[in-house]
Amino acid sequence: MTTAQSRRRLRLRRIRITGWSALSALLVTIVGFLTWFHIVLPAERGATLEVFRDQSVSVVAADGLIVFTPVEGASGQGMVFYPGAKVDPYAYLTPFHELVRDGLTVVIVEPLFNMALFDTTPLATVTAQAPEVTQWFAGGHSLGGVKACMVAQDPAIAGLALFASFCANDLSTRDIALVQILGDRDDVTDPTAVETSQGLLPEDHQSVVIPGANHASFGAYGPQPGDGVATISRTDMVAEISKNLRTHLLATG
């Protein structure tokens, strides 16, 4: 074998080694990426079981959607709800438990990679889960609220509920009811983003701040890194959410 041939073989070997190293690094990155997105803040077992044990409501999961309905006395109103980033969708059964018992239908989306902004489920697919509903609202927590704002562009949506969230798209000309519920101990939601986005909301929207509520108070999934310390009880928080949705959203139907 000549010196030139040896050098050529050495270069090819180095190229192969570099290629395999790059491919291995890419695979490790992809696996790490997917693993990170699938590690969620889990729903609290006790709170979730309380909902499942209530025979006056029904929880059915299918095709990436959780359909939460009253067994009797449905009001004809429904909400499409988007979870916060990397939060177990079942954590939102508790905040809506009282309202569903009273007739509201809630369809909670289980988003792709546990990130609502990645979800591409058509609104019609979601609403088809409850054909008896005649008036639909959208809602979301944190980044799920940002997604709900995007969905609220659809004429089929009559109102919007933002839990510790804000809009990134312009809804100022939409004739819809909108209630934005915040917590005064929330250290996760960016207050500057909330303030600067007010001009994107309908002029007659309602903003409510719940004393003692932090970011995680809007779901039943325990503490969240970087959050403030809540002083409001879960029972009182559910009552506050229910009261404000009834007053500023559901009553407009």
User: Are 140 and 68 in a shared domain?
Assistant: yes
pLDDT in tens, 135-163: 999 999 999 999 999 999 999 999 999 99
Contact between residue 156 and residue 98 where contact means Cβ atoms under 8 Å apart:
no
pLDDT at 40: 86
pLDDT in tens, 8-22: 666 666 656 555 555
pLDDT band at residue 107, thresholds of 50, 70 and 90?
very high
Residue 244: pLDDT over 50: yes
- Please give the order of strands across the beta sheet that includes 206-210: 57-62, 65-70, 105-109, 77-82, 135-141, 157-163, 177-183, 206-210
Residue 30: pLDDT over 50: no
User: Are 188 and 244 in a shared domain?
Assistant: yes
User: Are 77 and 28 in a shared domain?
Assistant: no
pLDDT band at residue 81, thresholds of 50, 70 and 90?
very high
User: Are 89 and 131 in a shared domain?
Assistant: yes
Other Cβ atoms within 10 Å of 177 Cβ, number: 19
pLDDT at 25: 44
Return the higher-pLDDT residue of 63 and 26: 63
Single-letter amino acid code for the residue at 32: G
Beta-strand relationship, 65-70 and 157-163: unpaired
pTM for this one? 0.86
Measured CA to CA, the distance from residue 5 to residue 95 in angstroms comes to: 72
- Strands, E, within 31-173: which ranges? 57-62, 65-70, 77-82, 105-109, 135-141, 157-163
User: What total number of domains does the chain contain?
Assistant: 2
Find residue 79's DSSP bridge partners.
106, 137
Range(s) of the domain holding residue 8: 1-39
User: Are 79 and 140 in a shared domain?
Assistant: yes
